[in-house]
Structure 1
Amino acid sequence: MTTAQLTSPYQHYVYAYPHKTAYRRLSDRPTLRSLWAAQDKSAMALYLHIPFCEVRCGFCNLFTRIGAPDGLTTAYLDALQRQAETVREALGDGEPVRFATAAFGGGTPTFLTASELERLCDIAEQGMGADLRAIPLSVEASPATATADRLAVLAERGTTRLSLGIQSFVDSEARAAVRPQRRADVEAALARIRDTAIPVLNIDLIYGIDGQTEETWLRSLDAALAWQPEELYLYPLYVRPLTGLDRHRTDTHGPDPAWDAQRLSLYRAGRDHLLARGYTQQSMRMFRRTDAPQQGADDYACQSDGMIGLGCGARSYTADLHYSFDYAVGMHEIRGIIDDYVTTTDFAHAEVGYRMDPHEARRRHLLQSLLQAEGLPVDDYRARFGTTPLDDFGPELHRLADRGWLAEADSAHLRLTPEGIAHSDAVGPDLFSPAVRAAMAAYERK
């Protein structure tokens, strides 16, 4: 690990491990039926991916395309339905298949029309057997697509959480992030969402935008707080390869200590602002209002339970293999992958993935637990794996403790310190295995 990696707080946002840039084409194309035959299917997650947006923000490296030619969304939903039917059949009927949580992401799921959203819900319910009105259902939206008719469909079909990507309430900052929107339109969308009475509203905000100051950052936070959102996500801005902001940057791609310091300062200001106003910190990014209804099923654990992903940008998790379709960031390549997906008739095989050996499973469990504020109970880890985190990852944990980022590496409950949580985007990559790190480094961007 280089000195830059040791000192920069901003390496990678770790929302899943391993990252899709570590996935590779699976030469044996295992059948889904064989992959899921021995898996516990009693409490899984279901994720449906919609790869369309009305615009592409300058910071975005998600798998999504701008707009959709006539007929493409219909063709995509047709393919999604074919995939759902194939996957549900592959899960078998030998034991109950139960989904404990569901989410629609993207892209922007609300890019779909109201009738198309109805069909999306039908695919989840009739195609996969998920009871959307009985489990937590989270849906991502943008201000421009959070229209009254779409929101009415989502509320009626059981949506319990709506996540709205706003990023900044300051129009000049939104423009700097290449996110064209007006505050008046954002406020109107928030009013429509609150009118639907969906139980949980999440607002996404970004810090580190060009021209942003602590004063304007807190002004955005206060504008969000005026709507009393049950959740807030505070994201540091990244300029990632092949994104709009990356194409316009003139500096080098190396570490920027001044920008790191600015983002860290804004993070601390935002964190303290929310903690003082009745929010609890769940992770570096996530803050929940103290009186908010709990989201997520008590019997689903992202560290270990399985996930079914439908759509060309979704990933699925078994204990032994994480798999998906091909991955890209560039618009031309994304369009090609979507075009291939909508003409696919054979969804019975895993095409691209990463095989999880027992050590990687331990590492994933540690990493995804440690990056949450509640941390990792050592007894739970021992019960699952027969060892302790210190047995398996002693050098890494002692290194975090030496930096002041881990509270007592040999304690019964491993937790990051407040400073460790602030450095989550360095802590996570520090825990990547050499094999995953090498695969990510060898990935050819496209």
Structure 2
Amino acid sequence: MTHTVALPTPSFPVPAPANEPETPYEQYVYAYPHQKAYRLLDDGPLLSDLWSTERLDALSLYAHIPFCEMRCGFCNLFTRTGAPEDVTREFLRTLERQARVTRRALEAKGEPIRFPLAAFGGGTPTYLTAAELTRLCDICEDVMGADLHAASWSVETSPATATADRIAVLAERGATRLSIGVQSFIDEEARAAVRPQKRQEVEDSLARLKEAKFPILNIDLIYGIDGQTERTFKVSLDAALAWEPEEIYLYPLYVRPLTGLSTRHAATLQDWNEQRLRLYRYGRDHLLSAGYEQTSMRVFRRTGTAAVEDADGSSISEYNQQAGMVGLGVGARSFTTELHYTTDYAVAVPEVRRIIDDYIATPTERFERAQWAFRMDGGERRRMYVLQHLLESTGLRTADYEQRFATRFEDDFGPQAQALLDRNWLREADGKLGLTLEGMAWADAIGPMFFSSRVRDNMTAYQDR
């Protein structure tokens, strides 16, 4: 591939990229397509039919726990704060009903079922009590048949909920990766992000996590908070490094509709972009000099740390989204080759509570069919594949793409490739395409360049609620 890309007629519609992204921070593409592109099906297919053509010995199990002790000002995740015990109890009862239906659907194929990967996300899974976490693990193992001790298993937590009894449950049940959302070690910055926590609470929780000796500890930090500078960001970076975590994630601050910061962030877009880019570059260089390697825009892994691997031996990445994910819990997504499906989704507090209540009240037989979904055709699968590989430091091998799809990357995505080459955001070497250092900084603008018109239209038409 050269810097002049031939532009034959693509095998599916490819929208031309914009002349120049307005911001480096357009869309965090952790999975494609975004849940806003899903739509309610009138008569969704049976799960037993959906999974009948899938490989069942290399599945991922995901449990979504939509509860938090507080809602951060930047959060647009599907989560509820302050859920009382009766709600979490009924939620787990419903999740178990859903799990039994899902397991039967998988068993209908008559083949061995195995989950080499598992994750508890949310929300904050450790919002659940130690007893509730134990029950959730029991559902995953006894109902779904997942061997958590044999799986690569990740759990998200927070400083306030990383208590000794909860950590003990996760350690005893075999969790391999704990990810804690710290965001900032400076109390004033945490308050500015509407995250009222004290540094001592953060340090105490990290001490408990280190004592438990999980194979991988990840610390999340955020840059772009009002008043944050390189000097204050260094305080948080150095505080995180002091704990010698295997991973550190650096997240740019996003302000989305219906979140706590949506009416409070005062910076102009240009000033804010400059601040975020400046802090990103500072944080990146600081972590690289401290012995970490960058595997994506957000992910920095301590050199020598073994990456979590999928069943086929490939490294699990920030953007991994292969077919074969089985989701449990309201808000959880499941991925098959032909269909991605989930439940309803919202951000606004009243809507989130309504959807959780509706989930709890769902008749068991309704779990037999997919509800909110997005159908994946060949073009969408190509886009998902490109995003999974191009946004990672490992890059995209054009020969692998051609072998998988029987078309050339240049033929399918010539306009996008040329635009990235023109901006020096993309490089080619030894048959592999990869983002340049500056391209990695603009990954959140590069990802949306590969969205289909259908996904863009669905997301535009989605009513924020």
Q: Same fold (TM over 0.5)?
A: yes
Residue 375 of structure 1 is matched in structure 2 by 395
Q: Which of 376, 383, 389 in structure 2 is aligned with 1:356? A: 376
Which consecutive residues of structure 2, in runs of 5 or more, have no partner in the other structure? 1-15
Q: For 1:402 and 1:441, how far apart are their aligned partners in 2?
A: 28
How far apart are residue 89 of structure 1 and its match? 0.5
Match of 2:31 among 16, 24, 49: 16
Q: Deviation per CA, 1:105-134, whole angstroms, max 9, x where unpaired?
A: 000000001111111111111111111100
Q: Does 1:59 align with 2:78?
A: no
- Could you tell me which residue of structure 2 aligns to residue 109 of structure 1? 125
What is the deviation of 1:236? 0.3
**1:416 partner letter:** L
The one of 355, 377, 392 equivalent to 1:337 is 355
2:289 maps to what in 1? 276
Structure 1 partner of 2:103: 88
- Whether the 8 Å CA contact 1:135–1:297 is kept in 2: the answer is no
The separation in 1 between residues aligned to 2:352 and 2:430, in whole angstroms, is 46
Deviation at 1:6, TM superposition (A): 1.5
The aligned counterpart of 1:437 is: 456
Greater mean alpha carbon deviation, residues 10-19 or residues 241-250: 241-250
Question: What is the 5 A alignment of 1:100-179?
Answer: 100-179=116-195
Partner of 1:295 in structure 2?
308
Tell me, yes or no, if the aligned pair for 1:5 and 1:426 is still in contact at 8 Å: no
- Alignment partners' CA distance in 1, 2:433 and 2:211: 41
Counterparts of 1:62 and 1:126, CA distance in 2: 29
Report deviation, 1:100.
Answer: 1.9
Cα distance in 1 for residues equivalent to 2:434 and 2:19: 24
Post-superposition offset of 1:401: 1.0
1:39-54 equivalence runs, <5 A? 39-54=54-69
* Among candidates 40, 50, 73, match of residue 35 of structure 1: 50
**How far 1:250 sits from its partner (Å)?**
6.1
Following the alignment from structure 2 to structure 1, what is the Cα–Cα distance between the partners of residues 339 and 119?
Answer: 21
State the Cα distance separating 1:379 from its structure 2 match.
Answer: 2.1
Deviation at 1:249, TM superposition (A): 4.4
Kindly state the Cα deviation for residue 3 of structure 1 after the two structures are TM-superposed.
Answer: 6.5
- How far apart are residue 96 of structure 1 and its match? 1.7
Question: 1:306-343, CA deviations, whole angstroms, 9 ceiling, x for partnerless residues?
Answer: 11110101100000111000010000000000001112
Distance 1:435 1:379 in 2: 27
* Residues in 1 aligned to 2:395 and 2:451: alpha-carbon distance in whole angstroms: 18
Deviation at 1:378, TM superposition (A): 1.7
1:180 aligns with 2:196: yes
Cα separation, 1, equivalents of 2:114 and 2:248:
29
List gaps (5 residues or longer) in structure 1: none
Normalised by the length of structure 2, the TM-score is 0.92
**For residues 72 and 41 of structure 1, what CA distance do their matches in structure 2 show?**
32
Most deviating of 296-305 and 178-187: 296-305
Q: Write out per-residue CA displacement over residues 389-438 of structure 1, whole angstroms, 9 at most, x where no aligned residue.
A: 11211111111111111103x86111111111110000001111111111
Q: 1:63 to 1:142 in 2, by over 3 A?
A: same
Instruction: Mark the CA change 1:219 to 1:373 in structure 2 (over 3 Å): closer, same or farther.
Output: same
Give SS of 1:203's match: strand
Shift of 1:259: 0.7
The answer to which structure, 1 or 2, has the higher relative contact order (CA under 8 A, 6+ apart) is 2
Flag the 1:2–1:282 CA change in 2: closer, same or farther, 3 A.
closer
Cross-structure match for 2:9:
none
What amino acid is aligned across from residue 342 of structure 2 in structure 1? S
Equivalent AA in structure 1 for residue 163 of structure 2: T
SS state of the match for residue 233, structure 1?
Answer: strand
411-420 vs 134-143, greater mean Cα deviation: 411-420
- SS of 1:162's equivalent in the other structure is strand
Q: Per-residue CA shift, 1:284-305, capped at 9, x if unaligned?
A: 0000001223223352673433
Go from structure 1 to structure 2 and tell me whether the alpha carbon gap of 1:378 and 1:395 turns closer, same or farther (over 3 Å shift).
same
- Counting only pairs closer than 5 Å after superposition, residues 367-446 of structure 1 correspond to structure 2 as 367-408=387-428, 412-446=431-465
**CA positional deviation for 1:42:** 2.1
Q: CA distance change for structure 1 residues 37 and 418 in 2, over 3 Å: closer, same or farther?
A: same
Q: Identity of counterpart residues, as a percentage? A: 59
Give the distance between the partners of 2:17 and 2:402, measured in 1 at CA: 32
